[in-house]
Structure 1
Protein backbone atom coordinates (compact mmCIF):
# COMPACT_ATOMS: atom_id res chain seq x y z
CA UNK A 1 0.00 0.00 0.00
CA UNK A 2 1.41 3.36 -1.02
CA UNK A 3 0.71 6.79 0.41
CA UNK A 4 -0.85 9.28 -1.99
CA UNK A 5 -1.02 12.99 -1.27
CA UNK A 6 -4.25 14.65 -2.39
CA UNK A 7 -5.06 18.34 -2.15
CA UNK A 8 -8.58 19.40 -1.20
CA UNK A 9 -9.42 23.05 -0.56
CA UNK A 10 -5.72 23.91 -0.47
CA UNK A 11 -4.99 21.36 2.25
CA UNK A 12 -2.89 18.27 1.65
CA UNK A 13 -3.99 14.87 2.92
CA UNK A 14 -2.05 11.61 2.91
CA UNK A 15 -4.17 8.61 1.99
CA UNK A 16 -3.07 4.97 1.95
CA UNK A 17 -3.99 3.49 -1.42
CA UNK A 18 -3.04 0.41 -3.48
CA UNK A 19 -1.01 1.35 -6.57
CA UNK A 20 -3.69 0.15 -8.98
CA UNK A 21 -6.30 2.47 -7.42
CA UNK A 22 -4.23 5.65 -7.21
CA UNK A 23 -5.54 7.19 -10.42
CA UNK A 24 -9.12 6.68 -9.26
CA UNK A 25 -8.32 8.21 -5.89
CA UNK A 26 -6.78 11.27 -7.54
CA UNK A 27 -9.84 11.66 -9.76
CA UNK A 28 -12.13 11.34 -6.74
CA UNK A 29 -10.10 13.91 -4.81
CA UNK A 30 -10.28 16.30 -7.77
CA UNK A 31 -14.05 15.79 -8.02
CA UNK A 32 -14.46 16.32 -4.27
CA UNK A 33 -12.28 19.44 -4.37
CA UNK A 34 -14.37 20.84 -7.21
CA UNK A 35 -17.63 20.11 -5.37
CA UNK A 36 -16.36 21.62 -2.12
CA UNK A 37 -15.05 24.74 -3.87
CA UNK A 38 -18.43 25.24 -5.52
CA UNK A 39 -20.21 24.96 -2.19
CA UNK A 40 -17.74 27.29 -0.48
CA UNK A 41 -18.00 29.84 -3.30
CA UNK A 42 -21.79 29.91 -3.01
CA UNK A 43 -21.33 31.34 0.50
CA UNK A 44 -24.36 29.44 1.79
CA UNK A 45 -22.36 26.94 3.84
CA UNK A 46 -19.58 27.90 6.24
CA UNK A 47 -17.06 25.58 7.87
CA UNK A 48 -14.92 22.83 6.38
CA UNK A 49 -16.86 19.99 7.97
CA UNK A 50 -20.23 21.31 6.79
CA UNK A 51 -18.88 21.91 3.29
CA UNK A 52 -17.53 18.34 3.25
CA UNK A 53 -20.88 16.92 4.39
CA UNK A 54 -22.77 18.88 1.72
CA UNK A 55 -20.32 17.72 -0.95
CA UNK A 56 -20.66 14.11 0.23
CA UNK A 57 -24.45 14.39 0.09
CA UNK A 58 -24.31 15.81 -3.44
CA UNK A 59 -21.95 13.08 -4.62
CA UNK A 60 -24.06 10.35 -3.00
CA UNK A 61 -27.18 11.78 -4.61
CA UNK A 62 -25.46 11.70 -8.02
CA UNK A 63 -24.44 8.08 -7.41
CA UNK A 64 -27.96 7.05 -6.41
CA UNK A 65 -29.38 8.74 -9.52
CA UNK A 66 -26.93 6.80 -11.69
CA UNK A 67 -27.77 3.53 -9.94
CA UNK A 68 -31.50 4.09 -10.32
CA UNK A 69 -31.04 4.90 -13.99
CA UNK A 70 -29.20 1.59 -14.37
CA UNK A 71 -26.21 3.20 -16.03
CA UNK A 72 -23.61 1.94 -13.55
CA UNK A 73 -22.08 -1.50 -13.78
CA UNK A 74 -21.31 -3.55 -10.68
CA UNK A 75 -17.59 -2.87 -11.07
CA UNK A 76 -18.22 0.89 -11.32
CA UNK A 77 -20.41 0.75 -8.21
CA UNK A 78 -17.69 -1.14 -6.33
CA UNK A 79 -15.06 1.36 -7.43
CA UNK A 80 -17.21 4.31 -6.35
CA UNK A 81 -17.84 2.64 -2.99
CA UNK A 82 -14.10 2.13 -2.44
CA UNK A 83 -13.42 5.76 -3.33
CA UNK A 84 -16.24 6.93 -1.10
CA UNK A 85 -14.83 4.85 1.76
CA UNK A 86 -11.42 6.50 1.25
CA UNK A 87 -13.04 9.94 1.28
CA UNK A 88 -14.87 9.15 4.52
CA UNK A 89 -11.64 7.85 6.06
CA UNK A 90 -9.81 11.02 5.05
CA UNK A 91 -12.55 13.24 6.47
CA UNK A 92 -12.41 11.27 9.71
CA UNK A 93 -8.64 11.81 9.90
CA UNK A 94 -9.17 15.53 9.21
CA UNK A 95 -11.57 15.77 12.11
CA UNK A 96 -9.03 13.98 14.33
CA UNK A 97 -6.30 16.42 13.27
CA UNK A 98 -8.56 19.39 14.00
CA UNK A 99 -9.37 18.01 17.46
CA UNK A 100 -5.70 17.53 18.34
Structure 2
Protein backbone atom coordinates (compact mmCIF):
# COMPACT_ATOMS: atom_id res chain seq x y z
CA UNK A 1 0.00 0.00 0.00
CA UNK A 2 1.25 3.46 -0.89
CA UNK A 3 2.01 6.27 1.53
CA UNK A 4 -1.00 8.59 1.86
CA UNK A 5 -0.71 12.01 0.30
CA UNK A 6 -2.45 15.27 1.10
CA UNK A 7 -4.82 16.54 -1.56
CA UNK A 8 -6.11 20.11 -1.51
CA UNK A 9 -9.77 20.38 -2.50
CA UNK A 10 -11.88 23.48 -3.02
CA UNK A 11 -15.55 23.09 -2.19
CA UNK A 12 -17.87 26.09 -2.19
CA UNK A 13 -15.01 28.60 -1.86
CA UNK A 14 -13.36 26.77 1.04
CA UNK A 15 -10.13 24.83 0.99
CA UNK A 16 -9.93 21.33 2.47
CA UNK A 17 -6.81 19.23 2.92
CA UNK A 18 -7.62 15.55 2.75
CA UNK A 19 -5.27 12.63 3.17
CA UNK A 20 -5.78 9.72 0.78
CA UNK A 21 -3.86 6.94 -0.95
CA UNK A 22 -2.28 8.10 -4.24
CA UNK A 23 -4.35 5.64 -6.25
CA UNK A 24 -7.56 7.25 -4.93
CA UNK A 25 -6.57 10.84 -5.71
CA UNK A 26 -8.46 11.08 -9.02
CA UNK A 27 -11.65 9.65 -7.52
CA UNK A 28 -11.42 12.02 -4.56
CA UNK A 29 -10.95 15.02 -6.86
CA UNK A 30 -13.89 13.91 -9.04
CA UNK A 31 -16.08 13.50 -5.96
CA UNK A 32 -15.07 16.95 -4.68
CA UNK A 33 -15.85 18.59 -8.04
CA UNK A 34 -19.23 16.84 -8.13
CA UNK A 35 -20.02 17.98 -4.59
CA UNK A 36 -18.84 21.52 -5.33
CA UNK A 37 -21.10 21.70 -8.41
CA UNK A 38 -24.11 20.40 -6.49
CA UNK A 39 -23.54 22.84 -3.65
CA UNK A 40 -23.09 25.77 -6.04
CA UNK A 41 -26.28 24.84 -7.91
CA UNK A 42 -28.21 24.76 -4.63
CA UNK A 43 -26.69 28.03 -3.41
CA UNK A 44 -27.36 29.75 -6.74
CA UNK A 45 -31.00 28.65 -6.69
CA UNK A 46 -31.46 30.96 -3.70
CA UNK A 47 -33.88 28.53 -2.06
CA UNK A 48 -31.47 27.29 0.62
CA UNK A 49 -29.45 29.58 2.86
CA UNK A 50 -26.48 28.57 4.99
CA UNK A 51 -23.53 26.39 4.14
CA UNK A 52 -24.64 23.61 6.51
CA UNK A 53 -28.07 23.41 4.89
CA UNK A 54 -26.59 23.57 1.42
CA UNK A 55 -24.23 20.70 2.30
CA UNK A 56 -27.08 18.58 3.66
CA UNK A 57 -29.23 19.24 0.59
CA UNK A 58 -26.31 18.35 -1.70
CA UNK A 59 -25.69 15.15 0.27
CA UNK A 60 -29.36 14.22 0.01
CA UNK A 61 -29.40 14.91 -3.73
CA UNK A 62 -26.26 12.85 -4.31
CA UNK A 63 -27.59 10.01 -2.15
CA UNK A 64 -30.85 10.05 -4.07
CA UNK A 65 -28.99 9.91 -7.39
CA UNK A 66 -26.95 6.99 -6.14
CA UNK A 67 -29.96 5.08 -4.81
CA UNK A 68 -32.13 5.63 -7.86
CA UNK A 69 -29.22 4.68 -10.09
CA UNK A 70 -28.92 1.45 -8.11
CA UNK A 71 -32.67 0.92 -8.36
CA UNK A 72 -32.56 1.39 -12.13
CA UNK A 73 -29.63 -1.01 -12.41
CA UNK A 74 -31.46 -3.62 -10.32
CA UNK A 75 -34.59 -3.27 -12.47
CA UNK A 76 -32.51 -3.61 -15.64
CA UNK A 77 -30.78 -6.67 -14.20
CA UNK A 78 -34.12 -8.29 -13.29
CA UNK A 79 -35.44 -7.52 -16.78
CA UNK A 80 -32.36 -9.13 -18.32
CA UNK A 81 -32.81 -12.17 -16.10
CA UNK A 82 -36.45 -12.53 -17.26
CA UNK A 83 -35.35 -12.24 -20.90
CA UNK A 84 -32.66 -14.90 -20.39
CA UNK A 85 -35.12 -17.22 -18.67
CA UNK A 86 -37.58 -16.72 -21.55
CA UNK A 87 -34.88 -17.39 -24.16
CA UNK A 88 -33.75 -20.56 -22.37
CA UNK A 89 -37.35 -21.82 -22.24
CA UNK A 90 -37.81 -21.08 -25.96
CA UNK A 91 -34.54 -22.83 -26.78
CA UNK A 92 -35.59 -25.85 -24.73
CA UNK A 93 -38.90 -26.00 -26.62
CA UNK A 94 -37.19 -25.68 -30.00
CA UNK A 95 -34.66 -28.39 -29.12
CA UNK A 96 -37.40 -30.68 -27.87
CA UNK A 97 -39.35 -30.25 -31.13
CA UNK A 98 -36.19 -30.84 -33.17
CA UNK A 99 -35.35 -34.06 -31.30
CA UNK A 100 -38.83 -35.57 -31.93
Per the alignment, residue 34 of structure 1 pairs with: 37
TM-score (norm 2): 0.69
Q: What is the Cα deviation at residue 42 of structure 1?
A: 0.5
Per the alignment, residue 62 of structure 1 pairs with: 65
CA RMSD of aligned residues (A): 1.0
Per the alignment, residue 16 of structure 1 pairs with: 19
Per the alignment, residue 97 of structure 1 pairs with: none
Gapped regions of structure 1 (runs ≥ 5): 72-100
Per the alignment, residue 52 of structure 2 pairs with: 49
- Of the two, which has the highest radius of gyration? 2
Q: What is the Cα deviation at residue 70 of structure 1?
A: 1.3
Count of aligned pairs: 71
Runs of 4+ in 1 over 3 A off after TM superposition: none
Name the SS for the 1:45 alignment partner.
coil
Gapped regions of structure 2 (runs ≥ 5): 75-100
Q: What is the Cα deviation at residue 50 of structure 1?
A: 0.4
TM-score (norm 1): 0.69
Q: What is the Cα deviation at residue 10 of structure 1?
A: 1.1
Name the SS for the 1:16 alignment partner.
strand
